[in-house]
Amino acid sequence: MAEQYPILVLLVLLFGALLVGLSGMADRRVCFPLTVTALGLAVAVSIGILQRVMDGGVIRYFVGGWSRPVGIGIELRIDTINALVLLTVTTVGLLTAIFSFRRVRDDKTEKTPLFYVLYLLLIMGLSGMVITGDAFNLYVLLEVSSLTSYALIAMGKSKRAATAAFSYIIMGTIGASFYLLGVGYLYLRTGTLNMMEIHQAILALDGPSSTIVVAFVLIIVGLMIKMAFFPLFGWLPNAYSYCPSSTSCVVAPLMTKVGVYVMVRMMLTVFGTEWVFSNLQYTQWLVGMAVVAILAGSVMALAQVELKKMFCYLIVAEVGYMVGGAWMANHWGMVGTIYHIMGDAFMTLCMFLAAGIFLKQAGVVRIDQLDGMFRKMPWTMAGFVVGALAMIGIPPTCGFFSKLYLIRGGMESGHWFYVGALLISSLVNAVLFFRIFEIAYFGKNPAEGHAAHHEEPSVQPVIKEAHPSSLIPLYLTAAIILLLGLFNGQIVELIEHSLNGVQVIGTEILVEKGGQG
């Protein structure tokens, strides 16, 4: 059975969705246990995959057994990078599913089965994107995940959810279509859709080919729309902040990260970094764009009054981190990017879980409504603080180490502006989150002198602490953030294992290049 793990991840989720759909119509109560079971199994299988990849190297799974010649069938290809991202995706899915328990029950009674079907299929689509080794299959799964996320966002109760979803559909379709077009250009020149085969074909090409270059630009631009890279991020804040909490908790951490992952995969496996960094002269520009993205995201986050909106702009900045890291043509930049994909997924999850709890228990939308939260909801705040520290980059959370690697990459490749932007963004994050802490700690209007506080306020706050089904995922996320930080050495080792295995990043060449730039 173990060799079937790659497909099992998807099948478990797909069957979960089908069962929820078929039996949920009859009895809504089975939806939640079925969903959690399916996701739990998926997490277990992902762990199994990771184990296998660590033991036995790259897994190649040929669906339908069509292995020869390579490319006639669809290949699932898992190295350590995929395995780690896959585990991230399924884990985030599981945590949010647990979190959604009360929310969905209260919000959308008659649509509960539909919600869970879409939810499971979203996770399935994202997992499929992560493990596939076929460029076109990736498009299909991209659409699976996009369509489900459109629907989940449009299900929001807010009036503006629909408009946000509509602009998301338009932008998302443009992005996906660009990707499809790019794959078409690639196919025209290479005649195959299998990622490794495309890579071989590109290596075999004699002389530069403008088709490949255009294909690359199309694919990257398409993905950048999907991951909300700087000038193309307009759809994100509205889409992520007007949707239901349980949706934003899964969409916000995963969609952009998987987009980044696909970009990395394209750079590593499909085009190959040697081609990317030696054929294209504008990689420096992209790092520059990333710098702008980081700064712009941070500044706009500062200007927000709504909690979720602020997190959304932080996502924009974080995407800038990762794009810059990937494009700086440095081993450590790439390592940092991949590590940050995982770290940021959980950090964002932590933020949105906390925001969801605040919204539900206390109706908090704006930041200034958080006053006195340390007293009213100490347990939730405790989890939130861990996530916030990770966003700022305080050791030993994972946020610190991804910054460490990214900055190391920036220093080695001589991208000093990027290093500066990263540090400024950390400071801005510090300001943002300590502003929140301050409000939550002091309240909106603290007393003038300290004598006034010596008597405890006798008015009991009506706000109740969150239900365990909300707190457990929050704490698990916080724990994962810490664990990712503490065990980052091992994780980076795994990532490097794949980077060397694919043999794509020649650090020596790249360092030399970076020195010039």
Partner 1 sequence: MKWIGLIAVIFTGGLLLSAMDDFPNWGDAHSPANSSPVSQYYIEQTMTDSGVPNMVTAVLADYRGYDTMFETVVVLIAGIAIMAILRVAKQVPGGAKPTPAHEVGDQHDIIIGTTCRLLIPVLQLFALYVIAHGHHSPGGGFQGGVILGASFILAAIAKGLDPALQRLPEKRYVKLAFVGVVIYVSFGVACLILGENFLDYGVLHELLPTMSAEEARSHSMLGVEIGVAFTVSMIMFAIYANLASKGELEGGL
Partner 2 sequence: MIPEVIQTYTPLWACLSALAAVVPMLILRRETALREGITFLAGFVMLGFVISMVPEVLAGKVLECTLVQLTADVPIKFRVDGLGMLFALVASSLWIVTSLYSVGYMRGLKEHSQTRFFVFFAVSLTATMGVAFAGNLLTLYLFYEMLSLATWPLVTHHQDKEARGGGRKYLTYLLGTSVGFALPALIFCYVKASATGLEFSAAGFLAGTGIEGTAALVLLLLFTFGFSKAGLMPFHSWLPGAMVAPTPVSALLHAVAVVKVGVFCIIRVFTGVFGLEFLKELDIAIVISWVAAFTVITSSLIALTQDNLKRRLAFSTIGQLAYIILGVSLLEDRAVMGSMTHIAMHAVGKITLFMCAGAIFVATGKKYVSQMDGLGRKMPLTFAAFTIGALSVIGLPPTGGLISKFYLVTGAMDANQPWLVTVFLVSTLLNAAYLLPIGYRAFFPKDRQLSSQPFSWKSTVEAPWACVLPLCVTSCLAMLLFVKPQLLLKLASLMVSDAG
Partner 3 sequence: MSVMGSFIISQYVLDHFNFWVAVILMMIGLYAMITKNNLIKKLIGMSIFQTAIILFYVSAGVKEGATIPILEHHAAETEQVAAGDAGAEHGSVVGADHDVSKSSEKAPAHEVHEINPDDYSNPLPHVLMLTAIVVGVATLGVALAVAQVIYKNYGTLEEDEILAKIKAAENDG
**Residues interacting with partner 1, by CB under 8 A?**
4, 7, 11, 14-15, 18, 21-22, 25, 61-66, 69, 71-74, 110-111, 114-115, 117-118, 121, 124-125, 128, 134, 136-137, 140-141, 143-144, 147-148, 150-152, 154-155, 162, 165, 181, 185, 187-193, 201, 209-211, 213-215, 217-218
Closest CB to partner 2 among 18 and 299? 299
- Site for partner 3 contains 147 (CB under 8 A): yes
Q: Give pairs for 426-430: CB < 8 Å, separation 24+.
A: 426/392, 426/393, 428/298, 428/299, 428/301, 428/302, 429/298, 429/314, 429/391, 429/392, 429/393, 430/392
Closest CB to partner 2 among 452 and 479? 452
Binder of partner 3 out of 151, 223, 317, 492 (CB under 8 A): 151
Closest CB to partner 1 among 4 and 500? 4
**Pair of tokens at residue 384:** 């939130």
Return the SS3 of 350.
helix
Q: Which residues pair with 366 in a beta bridge?
A: 306
Binder of partner 3 out of 76, 89, 131, 169 (CB under 8 A): 169
Closest CB to partner 2 among 358 and 400? 400
Closest CB to partner 2 among 296 and 431? 431
**Of 114, 87, 107, 228, nearest in space to 167 by CA:** 228
State the DSSP string of 451-489. GGGGSPP-SPP-PPPPPHHHHHHHHHHHHHHHHHHHTHH
d(CA 276, CA 42) in angstroms, rounded, equals 34
CB 84 within 8 A of CB 40: no
Instruction: Lay out the site mask for partner 2 across 422-451 (x = CB under 8 A, - = otherwise).
Output: -x--xx--xx--x---x--xxx--xxxxx-
Which does residue 64 touch among partner 1, partner 3, partner 2, none (CB within 5 to 8 A, set by kind)? partner 1
- Site for partner 3 contains 17 (CB under 8 A): no
Contacts of 162 (CB under 8 A, 6+ apart): 154, 156
Q: How far is the CB of 428 from partner 2 (least distance, A)?
A: 10
d(CA 142, CA 118) in angstroms, rounded, equals 14
Q: How far is the CB of 312 from partner 1 (least distance, A)?
A: 22
In degrees rounded to 5, what are phi and psi of residue 415? -90, 80
Which does residue 170 touch among partner 3, partner 2, partner 1, none (CB within 5 to 8 A, set by kind)? partner 3
- Site for partner 2 contains 407 (CB under 8 A): yes
For residue 307, with 0-12 CB atoms within 10 Å meaning exposed, 13-18 middle and 19 or more buried, which class applies?
A: buried
- Site for partner 3 contains 184 (CB under 8 A): yes
The beta-strand segments (E) located in 24-65 are: 59-63
- Give the range of 50-58, 163-171, 274-282, 479-487 binding partner 3 by CB under 8 A: 163-171
Closest CB to partner 3 among 86 and 155? 155
- Site for partner 2 contains 288 (CB under 8 A): no
Per residue in 421-442, is it b (16+ CB within 10 Å) or e — as a string? bbeebbebbbebbeebbebbbe
Question: Residue with structure tokens 């602020």?
Answer: 310
Binder of partner 3 out of 52, 105, 143, 296 (CB under 8 A): 143
Closest CB to partner 1 among 31 and 398? 31
Binder of partner 2 out of 27, 110, 456, 508 (CB under 8 A): 456
Query: Interface residues with partner 3 (CB under 8 A)?
Result: 136, 140, 143, 147, 150-151, 154, 159-160, 162-163, 165-166, 169-170, 173-174, 177, 180-181, 184, 187-188, 193
